[in-house]
Amino acid sequence: LAWEGDLPTPELDGTKATYPEVLPGVDLVAKAGVDGVSTYLVVKTREAATNPRVKDLRYKVVGSASQARGAGTGGEIRDAAGAVKFRVQRASMWDSKGVPAGVESHERVAPGQAARAVEVPVEASADTLAVNVDEAFLQAPDTVYPAIIDPEISVAREYTYWVAVQSNGTEYYNSSTEHARVGYQGWSSPYFTSRSFYNFNTSALYGKVIGSATFSHKLIHSANWDCNAATYGPGVTLGVTGAIGSSTVWPGPAWTATIGTNAKAHGDSGICSGYDVVEWNAKAAVQTYAADVSKPTLTLGLKSSNESNRDGWRKFDNDATLNYPLLSVTYNSLPNAPGAPSLVGATGTGKSNYWVDARQVTLKATVTDPDGTAGGSV
């Protein structure tokens, strides 16, 4: 993402770079961490929050043939081939209520315990990502300034192959029309139990430091007849499994690790409109595969936590437009080994002993990061 307009010289402090006054009363901060680089705005005064560019906050998308587009309530960035590379699902806003005295606003990348906080949607079109800033939040009398606006960006991994297998001998191999089915269909004949599996290519994550990983899917049907009930019946269990392919049959590949269970249940599709997005925390599984170069494909399986209870019946939509199911990962690359090390003021280089002309010496090296665009000297 790029800021529209010229940026001032940043003020560097450890892992932070603060670009002061990119707008009157507004700082832009970039902070490096184990889960990547967080870029956020610090709106320092209530007056600054009335700036039209704050209320209509936009970032440019830059990169070789990169293009942003809308994706439901969020946005995504695709490459020249049309593959989704990054997703921006939401932005967070919070104020400074309860922040201890002496803590600068640019030192925080998360809300304080007493802070007022909201999440707002992000929209995308062409080469722009727009944050739907909550103006009521910024102008509320109890909002304590400075306030932070922080879009959340994650790398996107789309599935490369999927399989649904049923206990009655029916299989669906990489179908573009069938829904993924999970659980015991004990409501009408023929009765059967179903499981669904997805392949994700995780080879590009090898050696990365994984900050978070979330598997999400579009739930369109359950046995629940109450459209307002948040959960119903046995939940859906996500796990790591063996490989899948065109010869996979019931009961599917072996389960090698269980990730977790989510009992969220969108109502019966016959009476409840829309859909719900169900999420599982897959960080541990992605970390395992990112650490092993011999595991370029992560296969995730969905099954009911109780396959004899028909209340666990679910249908999920493999939605190519909204990119579900989706494995969203935030990561950071380890920095490269420093280059050109030297001792400023020394009379020579190498392993031999050399004189310097000061009690305090300066060590110098060029540092680079695979996620950065250029090297710098420190």
3-state SS of the chain is CECCCCCCCCEEECCEEEEEEEECCEEEEEEEECCEEEEEEEECCCCHHHCHHHHCEEEECCCCCCEEEEECCEEEEECCCCCEEEEEEEEEEECCCCCCCCCCHHHCCCCCCCCCEEEECEEEECCEEEECCCHHHHHCCCCCCCEEEEEEEEEEEEEEEEEEEECCCCEEECCCCCCEEEEEECCCCCCEEEEEEEEEECHHHCCCEEEEEEEEEEEEEECCCCCCCCEEEEEEEEEEECCCCCCCCCCCCCEEEEEEEEEECCCCCCCCCCCEEEEEECHHHHHHHHCCCCCCEEEEEEEECCCCCHHHCEEEECECCCCECEEEEEEECCCCCCEEEEEECECCCCCCCCCECCCCCEEEEEECCCCCCCCEEC
| 290 within some domain | yes
Overall number of domains in the chain:
3
| 98 within some domain | yes
Supply the pLDDT for residue 52.
Answer: 95
Q: Is residue 375 scored above 80 in pLDDT? A: no
Supply the pLDDT for residue 91.
Answer: 78
pTM of the model: 0.60
Considering the domain architecture, whether residues 314 and 347 belong to the same structural domain is answered as no
Considering the domain architecture, whether residues 295 and 199 belong to the same structural domain is answered as yes
| 50 within some domain | yes
Distance (Å, whole) CA 343 – CA 361: 7
Cβ atoms within 10 Å, residue 321: 8
Supply the pLDDT for residue 125.
Answer: 72
Mean pLDDT, the chain, rounded, equals 83
CATH number at residue 252: 2.60.120
Domain final residue, candidates 85, 116, 145: 145
Task: Supply 147's token pair.
Answer: 């306030």
Distance (Å, whole) CA 200 – CA 301: 11
Distance (Å, whole) CA 15 – CA 17: 7
Low-confidence winner among 80-94, 99-113, 292-306 (lowest mean pLDDT): 99-113
Q: Is residue 78 scored above 60 in pLDDT? A: yes
Considering the domain architecture, whether residues 117 and 102 belong to the same structural domain is answered as yes
Please, is 247 exposed, middle or buried when counting C-beta atoms within 10 Å of its C-beta (0-12, 13-18, 19+)?
exposed
| 5 within some domain | no
Which residues form the domain of 81? Answer: 11-145
| 150 within some domain | no
Domain final residue, candidates 122, 145, 168: 145
Q: Is residue 105 scored above 50 in pLDDT? A: no
Task: Supply 310's token pair.
Answer: 């028909």
Domain final residue, candidates 145, 180, 195: 145
Q: Write b or e for each residue in 58-71: b if 16 or more Cβ atoms lie within 10 A of its Cβ, otherwise e.
A: ebebeeeeebbbbb
Considering the domain architecture, whether residues 128 and 235 belong to the same structural domain is answered as no
188-227: pLDDT as tens digits: 888 999 999 999 999 889 999 999 999 999 999 999 888 8
Considering the domain architecture, whether residues 215 and 322 belong to the same structural domain is answered as yes
Considering the domain architecture, whether residues 171 and 132 belong to the same structural domain is answered as no
Considering the domain architecture, whether residues 321 and 371 belong to the same structural domain is answered as no
Considering the domain architecture, whether residues 278 and 358 belong to the same structural domain is answered as no
Supply the pLDDT for residue 106.
Answer: 44
Q: pLDDT grade, residue 365 (50/70/90)?
A: confident
| 360 within some domain | yes
Closest CA relative to residue 307, chosen from 216, 181, 214, 217: 181
- Total length of the chain: 378
Considering the domain architecture, whether residues 366 and 312 belong to the same structural domain is answered as no
| 2 within some domain | no
Considering the domain architecture, whether residues 22 and 72 belong to the same structural domain is answered as yes
363, 369, 374, 377: CA torsion to nearest 10: -10
| Cα angle value 277/281/287 (rounded, 5°) | 135
Low-confidence winner among 54-63, 129-138, 205-214 (lowest mean pLDDT): 54-63
Low-confidence winner among 112-116, 130-134, 146-150 (lowest mean pLDDT): 112-116
Q: pLDDT grade, residue 103 (50/70/90)?
A: very low
| 268 within some domain | yes
Considering the domain architecture, whether residues 281 and 310 belong to the same structural domain is answered as yes
Q: pLDDT grade, residue 364 (50/70/90)?
A: confident
Distance (Å, whole) CA 364 – CA 161: 49
Supply the pLDDT for residue 317.
Answer: 92
Considering the domain architecture, whether residues 106 and 242 belong to the same structural domain is answered as no
Average pLDDT over every residue of 81-93? 68
